[in-house]
Chains A and B, each alone.
Chain A
Amino acid sequence: MSADDQELSLAERAGDLIKHNRLFVVGLVIAVSFLFVALTATWIAPKDPQAIDFTAKLQAPSLQHFFGTDVLGRDIFSRVLHGARTSLLTGVLVVSLALLIGLPIGLVAGYYGGRIDMVLMRVTDVFLAFPPLLLPIAITAALGPGLYNALMALAISWFPWYARILRSSVIAVKEELYVKSSQAMGMHPIRIMIKHALPNSTTPVIVQASMDFGYTILAAASLSFIGMGARPPTIEWGLMISSSRSIFLEYWWTAFFPGLAIFILVWGANLLGDGIRDLLDPHYSDKK
Chain B
Amino acid sequence: MSKPVLEVTDLKITFRGRRRDVEAVRGCSIKLHPGEILGLVGESGSGKSQLSLACMGLTAESGDVSGSILLTGIEIVGADRELIRDLRGDKIAMIFQNPMTALNPFYRVGEQLADILRVHHEITVEEALSKLEKSFVEVALPDPKAALKKFPHQFSGGQLQRIIIALAVSCEAKVLIADEPTTALDVTTQKQVTDLLRRLVDELQMGLIFITHDMSVVSEMADRVAVMRKGQIVEQGAIAEVMGNPQDEYTRLLLASVPMLGDKKSNPPCSGFTTQDDRIEGAAFLRVRQLSKTYPTRRGVVHALREVDFRLMAGECTALVGESGSGKTTLAMSLLQLLQPSSGQIYFEGKEISRVERKALREARRNISVVFQNPYSSLNPRMRIIDIVGEPLLVLTDLDKETIKQRVIDSLEAVGLSQEHLRRYPHAFSGGQRQRIAIARALVLEPKLIILDEPTAALDVSVQAQVVELLNELRARKKVAFLFITHDLALVERLANRVLVLYKGEIIERGTVEEVFQSPKHSYTKELLSSAPRYETFQKNIHKS
On A, residues with C-beta under 8 Å from B are 1-8, 16, 20, 176-178, 180-188, 191, 195-196, 199-200
Choose from A181, A187, A191 the contact partner of B370 (Cβ within 8 Å).
Answer: A181
CB <8 Å contact, A186 and B395 = yes
A2-B17, A178-B379, A200-B381 in contact; A184/B374 too (CB < 8 A)? no
1/0 per residue, CB under 8 A from A, across B385-411: the answer is 000100110011000000000000000
Contact call B369/A177, Cβ cutoff below 8 A: no
What distance in Å separates the Cβ of A181 from its nearest Cβ neighbour in chain B?
Answer: 6
Interface residue B519 (Cβ < 8 Å from any Cβ of A): no
Instruction: Please state if A182 and B391 are interface contacts (CB–CB under 8 Å).
Output: yes
- In this assembly, does B48 line the interface, its C-beta being within 8 Å of a C-beta of chain A? no
The 10 A-B pairs of least Cβ separation, nearest first, read: A177-B378, A2-B17, A184-B336, A177-B372, A186-B365, A178-B380, A177-B377, A199-B382, A185-B392, A187-B395
**C-alpha gap A199/B384 in the complex (Å):** 13
State whether A191 and B338 are in contact (beta carbons under 8 Å apart), knowing that A3-B22, A4-B20, A181-B378 are contacts in the complex.
no
Interface residue? B347 (CB, 8 A): no
Q: Tell me whether B302 is interfacial, beta carbon within 8 Å.
A: no
Contact of B17 (CB < 8 Å), options: A4, A182, A183: A4
CB<8 Å pairs between A and B, sample of 28:
A2-B15, A2-B18, A2-B22, A3-B17, A3-B45, A4-B18, A5-B18, A7-B428, A8-B19, A176-B377, A177-B373, A177-B374, A178-B379, A181-B370, A181-B438, A182-B391, A182-B395, A184-B365, A184-B368, A184-B370, A185-B369, A185-B396, A186-B362, A186-B365, A186-B396, A187-B391, A188-B395, A200-B382
A173 CB to nearest B CB, Å: 10
- Interface residues of B, Cβ cutoff 8 Å to A: 15, 17-20, 22, 45, 60, 62, 336-338, 358, 361-362, 365, 368-370, 372-374, 377-383, 388, 391-392, 395-396, 427-428, 438, 441, 445
CB distance from A149 to the nearest CB of B (A): 38
**Across the interface, do B395 and A4 meet the contact criterion of CB distance under 8 Å?**
no
Interchain nearest-CB distance for A107 vs B (Å): 15
Bound Cα distance A69, B15 (Å): 58
Closest Cβ neighbor of B358 among chain A residues: A186
The closest CB in chain B to the CB of A188 belongs to B395
Of chain B, the residue at the smallest CB distance from A186 is: B365
Chain B residues in 8 Å Cβ range of A195? 380, 383
Q: How far is the CA of A263 from the CA of B337 in the complex (A)?
A: 56
CB-based nearest B residue for A197: B380
Shortest C-beta distance, B408 to chain A (Å), equals 14
Residue of A1, A180, A186, A195 most packed against chain B (CB within 10 A): A186
| Residues of chain A within 8 A of B379, CB atoms compared | 178
Q: Would you give the shortest CB distance from B365 to chain A, in whole angstroms?
A: 4
> B18: which A residues are within 8 A, CB to CB?
2, 4-5, 16, 20
The answer for the CA separation of A195 and B379 in the assembled complex, in Å, is 12
Complex Cα–Cα for A181 and B439 (A): 12
Residue of A2, A5, A180, A181 with most partner-chain B CB within 10 A: A181
**Contact yes or no, A1 B361, CB < 8 A:** no
CB-based nearest B residue for A20? B18
A6 CA to B426 CA, complexed, in Å:
11
Give A177's nearest chain B residue, CB to CB: B378
A182 and B370 CA atoms in complex are apart in Å by 10
> Which listed residue, B62, B338, B380, touches A196 by the CB 8 Å rule?
B380
Could you tell me if A180 and B338 are in contact, using CB atoms closer than 8 angstroms? yes
Contacts A7-B427, A200-B381 given: A181-B372 contact, CB under 8 Å? yes
B388 contacts which chain A residues (CB < 8 A)?
A: 178
Interfacial chain B residues near A185, Cβ < 8 Å: 365, 369, 391-392, 395-396, 445
* CA of A200 to CA of B22, assembled, Å: 29
Inter-chain contacts of B17 with A (CB < 8 A): 2-5
Q: Roughly how many angstroms separate A4 CA and B368 CA in the complex, as a whole number?
A: 38
- Partner of A178 from the list B22, B377, B428 (CB cut-off 8 Å) is B377
Bound-complex Cα distance A16 to B18 (A):
8
The residue that A181 contacts in the complex, of B15, B361, B441, with Cβ under 8 A, is B441
Distance in angstroms between the alpha carbons of A7 and B424 in the assembled complex: 12
CB distance from B2 to the nearest CB of A (A): 37
Cα separation A8 to B20 with both chains bound (whole Å) = 12
Please give, as numbers and ranges, the residues of chain A lying within 8 Å of B428 by CB-CB distance.
Answer: 7
Q: Is the CB of B396 within 8 A of A178?
A: no
Whether A180 contacts B392 by the Cβ 8 Å rule is no
Min CB distance A224 to B, Å, is 40
Which residues from chain A contact B381 at a C-beta distance below 8 Å?
200
A200-B380 in contact given A5-B18, A181-B370, A183-B338 (Cβ < 8 Å) = yes
Cβ of A176 to closest chain B Cβ, rounded Å: 5
> What residues on B are CB-neighbors of A180 within 8 Å?
338, 372, 378
